[in-house]
């Protein structure tokens, strides 16, 4: 009887403890949601009361209204479309060769020794600084913008892919060797899946860099795209319209990271 | 049982050379292992037993000397290794891990399926076939590793301290399971361990190794009838004496290498 009561009491104590932990977790979730809302509200308030200059910092509600208007006229969609196309095509143009070169660099040390000085030398140059040369080589059309993105995406992916292969635990390489894997099997069964987690980190980075690059490239040498919207509206001093461009970039950046994170859990279910 | 030589080692020596330093991992090892024999290489860590196994596994080349594994069936691979616990490939499911050797040999899908299913059942993992290794316990991972090696149907099996990372209860269980599977196939096995109990339970013959340079200093036949259990080994008085004898040999070796 006594024992029974003791157990009940112990369960009661742990129940309280569990509830406390849950309350704490909920509070943290609330914090995560509250920070952007708080900033937006503060911005709205300061702008409406003219404590900050509403010409430079129009209230968020006004930016949203402007977005709605630009959407109604349909004009903004053509800019979004062209930017997304550039990002997407440029991304693939950079990621695919980067994965192949990265895997080869990771698997074969002669290839690694040959390519790594080239990678190291070109990586620190901001792609935008190469834009004039890219324009000379590829002209001022769409393709040069895709190449710009491709180059900027290439480096983080190639480095991470090579590192991913190199960091595969030696024991798996021994297993493959002991069980007679040929070069092709080794590539597809060991090197590619084994390097995938680190490779995807590189792709995640490349995705962020692609957005940075496209906006900057469109600011410098384009007459369409989200970057162009930002730059032209700034020049025309239509700041709500400019902010719409910034909001769009933020939105797509977030969306792309979510997509790649989703891809991560799909592609590496074993992690 | 016919006493036919299955593995022949002829004056194998391996030296590791780095800058101006060289270490003799194993020195002048000659030995013969018979068809169907279960042999344990027993020695302290760093005595070169893993090096010897890696040479036979084709993962390391000897500095001098040579070895031969006599092939009976040209379709079978010469050897397959049961690796330590980390040797199960994390991005393949249990099923794919077991099928790995067969896939690498590009056997017909039907054969791969059949043999994989058979050995999955043998090690009691048929319900875990589609799980990834991260979801398995250490003992289950080693069952995968054992099934992978046996499914490959090699001429000889090499085992590199496969149970070293397991807790003692699991170790006993897996040792007996291994003996059960082995009894069915009667493959020639070379098994590395630093556990005297393990060696006495498993082997027909124990080879004691000295530390640096690794040499075989003593050989012991274990004549306990099979099938054996850990209880048999523990309750047998002769085995108790053998244990003490082996321990004394190893002890002087370990002490010797410490004072060097």
- Between these two residues, B112 and A1, which has the higher pLDDT value? B112
Looking at residue B3, its pLDDT comes to 65
Contacts of B152 in chain A (CB under 8 A): 179
pLDDT of residue B258: 63
Structure-token pair, residue B120: 């999955």
Output the pLDDT for position A87: 94
Count CB neighbours of A165 within 10 A.
25
A179 and chain B in contact, CB less than 8 A: yes
Angle between helical axes of B109-122 and B138-151 (0-180°, round to 10)? 140
Query: In angstroms, how far is the first alpha carbon of chain B from the final one?
Result: 44
| Residue A170 in contact with partner chain B when CB distance is under 8 A | no
A185 touches chain B (CB under 8 A): yes
Q: Which candidate, B127, B177, B110, B170, places its Cα nearest to that of B147?
A: B177
Put simply, whether A8 touches B (Cβ < 8 Å) is no
Contacts of B51 in chain A (CB under 8 A): none
Q: Which of B54, B77, B93, B104 to mutate to test the interface with A (most CBs of A within 10 A)?
A: B104
Query: Does the N-terminal peptide bond of residue B227 adopt cis geometry, omega within 30 degrees of 0?
Result: yes
Min Cα–Cα distance to chain A from B164, Å: 16
At A271 the pLDDT is 85
What span, in angstroms and rounded, lies between the C-alpha atoms of A130 and B56? 54
How far away is chain A from the Cα of B136, in angstroms, using its nearest Cα? 12
pLDDT tens per residue, range B43-98: 888 788 999 999 999 999 999 999 999 988 888 999 999 998 789 999 999 999 99
Q: Per the CB < 8 Å rule, is B104 touching A268?
A: no
Contact A180 B104 (CB under 8 A): yes
Environment class of A196 (CB within 10 Å of its CB; exposed 0-12, middle 13-18, buried 19+): buried
CA dist list (Å): B102 to A181, A269, B59, B96: 10, 24, 19, 10
pLDDT value, residue B1? 46
Interface of chain B against chain A, CB under 8 Å?
57-59, 77, 79-81, 83-84, 86-87, 89-92, 100-101, 103-105, 132-134, 148, 152
Helix (H, G, I), strand (E, B) or coil at B160: strand
Segment A143-173, tens digit of pLDDT: 999 999 999 999 999 999 999 999 999 999 9
- What pLDDT score does B107 carry? 95
Measure the CA–CA gap between A13 and A3, rounded to whole angstroms. Answer: 15
Contact B147, B118 (CB under 8 A): no
Give the CATH superfamily of B5-78+154-259. Answer: P-loop containing nucleotide triphosphate hydrolases (3.40.50.300)
**pLDDT of the residue at B135:** 94
Query: What is the distance between the alpha carbons of residues A199 and A171, in angstroms, rounded to a whole number?
Result: 20
Using CB atoms, which residue from B79, B84, B132 is nearest to A270?
Answer: B132
Asked whether the predicted pLDDT for residue A91 surpasses 90, the reply is: yes
Q: Quick one: fold of A61-267? A: MetI-like fold (1.10.3720)
pLDDT tens-digit map of A5-38: 888 899 999 999 999 999 999 999 999 899 999 9
C-beta separation of B30 from B67 below 8 A: no
Report whether A62 contacts A119 (CB < 8 A).
Answer: no
pLDDT digits (tens, 9 = 90+) for A124-150: 998 888 888 998 999 888 899 999 999
Give this complex's ipTM.
Answer: 0.91
Interface-testing mutation among A175, A182, A194, with chain B (most B C-beta atoms within 10 A): A175
> Within chain B, which residues score under 50 in pLDDT?
1
- Average pLDDT, rounded, for chain A: 92
Per residue in A51-84, is it b (16+ CB within 10 Å) or e — as a string?
A: eeebeeebbbebbeebbeebeeeeebeebbebbe
Domain-wise residue ranges, chain B: 5-78+154-259, 86-153
Chain A residues whose beta carbon lies within 8 Å of the beta carbon of residue B101: 179-180
Helical axes A2-48 vs A60-73, angle rounded to 10°: 70
Picking from B12, B1, B58, the residue whose alpha carbon sits closest to that of residue B35 is B1
Question: Is B215:B28 a contact under the CB 8 Å cutoff?
Answer: yes
**DSSP state for residue A187 in the 8-state scheme:** I
Q: What confidence score (pLDDT) does residue B46 get?
A: 78
Structure tokens at B198: 């393990």
Sheet strands side by side (includes B38-42): B79-82, B156-160, B188-193, B38-42, B205-209, B216-221
Instruction: List Cβ neighbours of B57 (8 Å cut-off, separation of 6 or more).
Output: A174, A178, B79, B81, B158
Domains of chain A by residue range: 1-37, 61-267
Measure B234 CA to nearest chain A CA, in Å: 35
User: Which pLDDT score, from 0 to 100, does residue B257 have?
Assistant: 65
């Amino acid at each position: 009887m006594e024992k029974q009561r003791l157990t009940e009491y112990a369960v009661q104590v742990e129940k309280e403890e569990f509830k406390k932990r849950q309350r704490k977790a909920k509070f943290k979730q609330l914090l995560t949601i509250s920070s952007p809302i708080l900033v937006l509200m503060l911005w709205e308030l300061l702008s409406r009361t003219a404590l900050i200059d509403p010409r430079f910092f129009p209230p968020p509600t006004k930016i949203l209204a402007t977005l709605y208007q630009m959407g109604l006229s349909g004009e903004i969609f053509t800019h979004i479309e062209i930017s997304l196309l550039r990002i997407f095509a440029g991304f693939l143009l950079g990621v695919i060769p980067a994965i192949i070169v990265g895997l080869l660099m990771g698997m074969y040390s002669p290839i690694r020794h040959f390519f790594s000085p080239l990678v190291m030398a070109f990586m620190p140059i901001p792609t935008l600084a190469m834009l004039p040369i890219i324009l000379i080589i590829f002209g001022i059309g769409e393709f040069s913008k895709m190449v710009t993105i491709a180059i900027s995406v290439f480096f983080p992916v190639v480095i991470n892919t090579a590192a991913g292969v190199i960091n595969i635990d030696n024991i798996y390489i021994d297993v493959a060797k002991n069980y007679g894997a040929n070069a092709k099997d080794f590539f597809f069964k060991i090197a590619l899946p084994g390097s995938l987690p680190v490779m995807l980190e590189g792709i995640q980075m490349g995705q962020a860099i692609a957005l940075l690059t496209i906006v900057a490239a469109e600011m410098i040498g384009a007459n369409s795209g989200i970057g162009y919207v930002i730059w032209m509206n700034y020049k025309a001093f239509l700041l709500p319209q400019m902010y719409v461009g910034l909001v769009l970039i933020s939105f797509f950046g977030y969306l792309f990271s979510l997509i790649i994170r989703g891809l991560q859990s799909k592609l590496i279910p074993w992690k | 049982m016919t006493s036919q030589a299955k593995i022949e080692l002829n004056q194998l020596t391996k030296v590791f050379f780095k800058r101006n330093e060289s270490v003799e991992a194993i020195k002048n090892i000659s030995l013969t292992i018979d068809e169907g024999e279960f042999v344990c290489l027993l020695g302290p860590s760093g005595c070169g037993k893993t090096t010897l196994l890696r040479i036979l596994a084709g993962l390391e080349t000897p500095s001098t000397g040579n070895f031969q594994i006599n092939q009976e069936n040209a379709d079978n691979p010469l050897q397959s290794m049961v690796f330590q616990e980390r040797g199960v490939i994390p991005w393949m499911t249990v099923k794919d891990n077991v099928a790995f050797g067969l896939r690498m040999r590009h056997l017909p899908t039907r054969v791969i399926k059949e043999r994989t299913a058979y050995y999955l059942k043998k090690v009691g993992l048929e319900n875990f076939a589609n799980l990834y290794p991260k979801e398995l316990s250490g003992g289950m991972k080693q069952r995968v590793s054992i099934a992978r090696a046996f499914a490959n149907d090699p001429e000889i099996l090499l085992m590199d301290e496969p149970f070293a990372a397991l807790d003692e209860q699991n170790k006993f269980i897996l040792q007996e399971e291994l003996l059960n599977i082995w009894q069915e196939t009667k493959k020639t096995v070379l098994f590395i361990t630093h556990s005297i109990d393990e060696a006495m339970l498993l082997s027909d013959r124990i080879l004691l190794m000295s530390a640096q340079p690794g040499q075989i200093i003593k050989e012991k036949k274990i004549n306990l009838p099979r099938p054996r259990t850990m209880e048999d080994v523990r309750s047998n008085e002769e085995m108790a004496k053998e244990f003490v004898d082996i321990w004394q040999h190893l002890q002087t070796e370990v002490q010797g290498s410490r004072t060097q």
